[in-house]
Every structure is written in structure tokens, then in C-alpha cells.
């Protein structure tokens, strides 16, 4: 608990408050890659101010990729979750904090049991404000020394987002048993506990 609290304090001190103080009354988008997109929807859906999460693909060269195109690695895309949120209720900084403690930033092969470039962790920024905030968040995590190892998560410009097939959306709700089994088999929660402690922000 102390480990996680220290991390969040350090990140909060080093990140610019510009995003949190946004006066924009409309919605904004954030795009994060943390391995299997099924597993990245639940922690954000819990947040007050998050309007929707959509599993999808970005960062590749093929137009209108299918799941099979992406999972094969041929399209160059990464599995991501797109978050639509109200910045007056939840800040981009808060989304970043939730992102970090739901991924393994040290894995340079993918995430958890899923290997390949399509599962690499990344923050895809929408604009320069997000870019600066994401880079400061990454730098703060590195300086905190909370994680013992090289942090390989990247900050990348967002390209066209393609929603995944309908059966992937809200998979953890619509196929809860299959989702729980996959998550357990993948060792995701054990690894997250090892990295961030059982009291992680999620």
C-alpha cells in the first residue's frame, strides 16, 4: 500500500495540472494499449466521469483491420482501448494513474501471456497537451524507482482508431466466465500484484 501511495504522490507532483484543471465542458478521448483489450476496459469503466470504453486497434498500416489481421501481427496495429470521458469529472492524469497499475511496463515482448508487437504497452496521445502529460507521467514513474527494471512502455502519437468487432466489446460483461478464465490463465492479476501490490489503484 505504501509503495503504491508513494508512486501516485510522486506522479501527481511531477505532472502538470493542466489536464486536471481543464475548463472544457465537452468530452475528450484517451487511447491506451495494455495488452488484451478485454482486460483494459474494466478498470476505466469503474471511474466516475468515464462515458464509454471501446476495444479497438491503432498504430498500424492496414485499413479496416480485422482481429485476425491484428493478432497475426501483419497489420502493424496494437490492441487498445479508447476512452471517452468528461474532463470535468475525471482528469487525464487520473486515467494515466489507472493505466500504469493495470499493465506491466517492464515487458518488452507484449503483456502477460500475450506476446507480439500487437500486445505492447503504449500511451497514444491525441494532442500536445496529452503528449506532455504522458511524457511527464512516464518520467515520474522512472524517477520513482518503484519498479525494478527498464520501463519499456512508449508514448506515441495516435493514428486512426478502428473499433474491434462487436463480440470484443464489453467482453468481460457479456462473457464473464470465459473472461475470468482467460485472465486467470494469463497470470495477469498475479503479475500486477507482484508489480504494484494488492492495493493498486484500479
Catalytic residues, by residue number, are 36
Q: State the Cα–Cα distance between residues 172 and 153, nearest whole angstrom.
A: 24
Q: Say how many C-beta atoms besides its own lie within 10 A of residue 46's C-beta.
A: 10
> How many alpha carbons lie under 13 Å from residue 190 in its C-beta half-sphere?
7
Q: State the Cα–Cα distance between residues 132 and 116, nearest whole angstrom.
A: 27
> Pick from 143, 86, 149, 95: which is nearest to 123 by CA?
95
Q: State the Cα–Cα distance between residues 4 and 28, nearest whole angstrom.
A: 27
Q: State the Cα–Cα distance between residues 24 and 101, nearest whole angstrom.
A: 27
Q: State the Cα–Cα distance between residues 35 and 111, nearest whole angstrom.
A: 5
Q: Specify whether the backbone of 68 is left (phi greater than 0), alpha (psi in -120 to 50) or beta.
A: alpha
Helix (H, G, I), strand (E, B) or coil at 191: helix
Amino acid at each position: 500500500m505504501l509503495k503504491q501511495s508513494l508512486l501516485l504522490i510522486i506522479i501527481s507532483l511531477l505532472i502538470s495540472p493542466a489536464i486536471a484543471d481543464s475548463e472544457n465542458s465537452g468530452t475528450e478521448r484517451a487511447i491506451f494499449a495494455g495488452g488484451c483489450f478485454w482486460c483494459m476496459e474494466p478498470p476505466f469503466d469503474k471511474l466516475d466521469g468515464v462515458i464509454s470504453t471501446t476495444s479497438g486497434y491503432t498504430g498500424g498500416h492496414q485499413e479496416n483491420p480485422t482481429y485476425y489481421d491484428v493478432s497475426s501481427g501483419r497489420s502493424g496495429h496494437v490492441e487498445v482501448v479508447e476512452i471517452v470521458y468528461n474532463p470535468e469529472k475525471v482528469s487525464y492524469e487520473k486515467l494515466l494513474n489507472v493505466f500504469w497499475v493495470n499493465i506491466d511496463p517492464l515487458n518488452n515482448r507484449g503483456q502477460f501471456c500475450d506476446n507480439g508487437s500487437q500486445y505492447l504497452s503504449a500511451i497514444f496521445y491525441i494532442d500536445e497537451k496529452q503528449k506532455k502529460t504522458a511524457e511527464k507521467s512516464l518520467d515520474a514513474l522512472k524517477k520513482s524507482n518503484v519498479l525494478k527494471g527498464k520501463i519499456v512502455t512508449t508514448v506515441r502519437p495516435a493514428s486512426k482508431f478502428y473499433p474491434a468487432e462487436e463480440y470484443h466489446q464489453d467482453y468481460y460483461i457479456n462473457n464473464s466466465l470465459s473472461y475470468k478464465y482467460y485472465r486467470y490463465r494469463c497470470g495477469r492479476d498475479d503479475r500486477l500484484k507482484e508489480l504494484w501490490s494488492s492495493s493498486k489503484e484500479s
